[in-house]
Chain A
């Protein structure tokens, strides 16, 4: 299987903290790859580097065999890489439908940008997309009036509206009430499978990872310390100690 995205030797340090310290990572076409790791390990940095928001100090990234390092986020999006955000980046003064429609319209050319945003084609596609995410009932609401779960889904829907071949998701379920979490994951799994999109997601919740991922990469101290199918990785004692264990303790602290 060829790599859709290939990262080689990525290095990036903020002051003394090495967020990436020689990372090699391949994303295979069609897979759902989870990146797990302790907080502050640099997982989000990876997404930021791939999408052009941060520039690594060394290394290379190729998408479909084409180097994309140094391109602006905008160019990278146009090549077919979209992302969602840990803190959903919605246009808060717009309705959910407008958000989605704007994302749909953003694929268009300049002249289509002069047509009304809410004309037939944009709206039809945006509505259909929101429907797939189960957000139809909320389409008319302003984006700042949604609960966290719906905001997360809308955020991802907007990324998907760009028809990417690679979707990067930064903690798609963080901040969502535990009771809603699995429902969101089910929606996501279904929608992404239907769309046939390759997806990379950073996640802390091992249940989500287990349900969602085809492969898991463990990001620890700026390196990929383990990579493999969820069954293997999540059972690895070292991973449990370094990553999952910490999560458990954090959870215990929060509970106490």
Chain B
């Protein structure tokens, strides 16, 4: 393991510890933090696609798919360790089918086809009212963890723990993936897709692999969201929810696997505090924050943090 990888591992573990500490000190934030991590996991997938220069405006589809899969399965199978793979499988399978179609498209066409499919799913959730209860949504029963029934308090902690473990696992995986030829081929695609073909690398399959992975991660995020809110509604699949994921990716910065989580914490906390401060203008505050980040720190929170870290030694020297 390289020095840098070790450093990042330590940083990730420290971040996890901080999350647990904050959740312990400020009980109501535990929920917000769990949701943030869930979204961060989904955004990790968006990050993969962003590497290839593709923006999906429909990934909420996979979040919602898995969340609904969990909601439908939970009454018969209320086990977190089964619901997570189930959601990942459902999202991954649909991601594979949809992916085979959408990886033929680039840029706006890619983005809009994803959006269209997520909106179709959104309508399906409304149309099959008898099954889904439409916007009223479906409530999940209490979930067991490794076969153990937990009280609400313990279940909250368990979900947060699962979320953190998944985040660490997927974070490490994506980090490795991005440094592998498969990952490097993604960013190569962004700059010179034709060259890839002339190197014998099937660009579409490179993108497809990333797409399916992103669907799986969005699915895991969706199941965690479902287990945390214990109530799923079609709003999970609406296009603004997809936009939110892209928003988080940019807010956090696409330069590192830490970005999605920084972005998700930044987003959820800003939204929560903005909503608490001015209940009827929180959107505007979020918009202004996003605009500020894009204009003044296009590298996102991660880029901001990194340049601050880089500058610090010089600052200390001067002081």
Are chains A and B native binding partners rather than an unrelated pairing?
Answer: yes
Residue of B176, B194, B200 near A116 (CB, 8 A) is B176
Q: A107 — nearest CB in chain B belongs to which residue?
A: B200
Is A108 on the interface with B (CB-CB < 8 A)?
yes
A159 to chain B, nearest CB (A): 8
- On whether A74 and B200 interact (CB within 8 A), knowing A89-B192, A91-B192, A91-B195, the answer reads yes
Q: B51 — nearest CB in chain A belongs to which residue?
A: A93
Q: Give the docked Cα–Cα distance between A205 and B277 (Å).
A: 71
Q: B196 — nearest CB in chain A belongs to which residue?
A: A106
Cβ A92 vs Cβ B191 within 8 A: yes
Contacting residues of chain B (156-201) with chain A, CB-CB under 8 angstroms: 176-177, 179-185, 187-188, 190-192, 194-201
Is A39 on the interface with B (CB-CB < 8 A)?
no
Is A243 on the interface with B (CB-CB < 8 A)?
no
A146 to chain B, nearest CB (A): 14
Cβ B195 vs Cβ A74 within 8 A: no
Contacting residues of chain B (189-228) with chain A, CB-CB under 8 angstroms: 190-192, 194-202
Residue of A83, A90, A94, A113 near B198 (CB, 8 A) is A83
Is A225 on the interface with B (CB-CB < 8 A)?
no
Cβ A51 vs Cβ B198 within 8 A: yes
What DSSP secondary structure best describes chain B's contact surface? helix
Which A residues are CB-close (under 8 A) to B176?
114, 116
Q: Give the docked Cα–Cα distance between A175 and B219 (Å).
A: 50
Q: Give the docked Cα–Cα distance between A72 and B198 (Å).
A: 9
Q: B180 — nearest CB in chain A belongs to which residue?
A: A114
Residue of B179, B182, B194, B199 near A162 (CB, 8 A) is B199
B188 to chain A, nearest CB (A): 4
B225 to chain A, nearest CB (A): 29
Cβ A93 vs Cβ B180 within 8 A: no
Cβ B181 vs Cβ A112 within 8 A: yes
Which B residues are CB-close (under 8 A) to A91?
187-188, 191-192, 195
Residue-by-residue, is A110-121 near B (CB-CB < 8 Å gives 1, otherwise 0)? Answer: 001111111000
Cβ A89 vs Cβ B188 within 8 A: no
Cβ A102 vs Cβ B199 within 8 A: yes
Which B residues are CB-close (under 8 A) to A114?
176-177, 180, 182
Q: Give the docked Cα–Cα distance between A51 and B200 (Å).
A: 11
Is A244 on the interface with B (CB-CB < 8 A)?
no
Q: Give the docked Cα–Cα distance between A94 and B184 (Å).
A: 9
Residue of A93, A108, A118 near B190 (CB, 8 A) is A93
Contacting residues of chain A (63-99) with chain B, CB-CB under 8 angstroms: 72-74, 77-78, 82-83, 85, 89-94, 98
B177 to chain A, nearest CB (A): 7
Instruction: State how many residues of chain A have any CB contact under 8 Å with chain B.
Output: 33
Is A158 on the interface with B (CB-CB < 8 A)?
yes
Which A residues are CB-close (under 8 A) to B177?
114
Q: Give the docked Cα–Cα distance between A103 and B183 (Å).
A: 13
Q: Give the docked Cα–Cα distance between A116 and B202 (Å).
A: 19
Tell which of B184, B196, B197, B198 has the most Cβ of chain A within 10 Å. B198
Q: B184 — nearest CB in chain A belongs to which residue?
A: A117
Is A156 on the interface with B (CB-CB < 8 A)?
no
A168 to chain B, nearest CB (A): 10
Cβ A74 vs Cβ B201 within 8 A: yes
Cβ A158 vs Cβ B179 within 8 A: no
Is A105 on the interface with B (CB-CB < 8 A)?
yes
Cβ A94 vs Cβ B181 within 8 A: no
Q: A51 — nearest CB in chain B belongs to which residue?
A: B198
Which B residues are CB-close (under 8 A) to A106?
181, 185, 196, 199-201
Tell which of B176, B179, B192, B200 has the most Cβ of chain A within 10 Å. B200
Cβ A105 vs Cβ B188 within 8 A: no
Q: Give the docked Cα–Cα distance between A94 and B199 (Å).
A: 16
- On whether A78 and B200 interact (CB within 8 A), knowing A114-B180, A116-B179, A117-B180, the answer reads yes
Which B residues are CB-close (under 8 A) to A103?
199
Q: Give the docked Cα–Cα distance between A162 and B199 (Å).
A: 7
Cβ A158 vs Cβ B191 within 8 A: no
Residue of A51, A82, A94 near B188 (CB, 8 A) is A94
Q: Give the docked Cα–Cα distance between A117 and B199 (Å).
A: 15
A113 to chain B, nearest CB (A): 4
- On whether A113 and B181 interact (CB within 8 A), knowing A74-B200, A77-B200, the answer reads yes
B220 to chain A, nearest CB (A): 20
Cβ A89 vs Cβ B180 within 8 A: no
Contacting residues of chain A (159-174) with chain B, CB-CB under 8 angstroms: 159, 162
Cβ B191 vs Cβ A77 within 8 A: no
B76 to chain A, nearest CB (A): 36
Closest 3 CB pairs of A and B: A77-B200, A89-B195, A105-B181
Q: Which residues does B use to contact A, with CB under 8 Å? A: 176-177, 179-185, 187-188, 190-192, 194-202
Between-chain CB contacts (< 8 Å), 21 pairs: A72-B197, A74-B201, A77-B199, A82-B198, A89-B192, A90-B191, A90-B192, A91-B191, A93-B187, A94-B191, A102-B181, A102-B188, A105-B184, A106-B196, A108-B181, A112-B181, A115-B180, A116-B176, A116-B180, A162-B199, A162-B200
16 more contacts with CB within 8 A, not counting A91-B188, A116-B180, are A51-B198, A72-B197, A74-B197, A74-B201, A74-B202, A77-B199, A83-B198, A89-B192, A90-B195, A91-B191, A94-B188, A94-B191, A105-B181, A117-B179, A117-B180, A159-B198
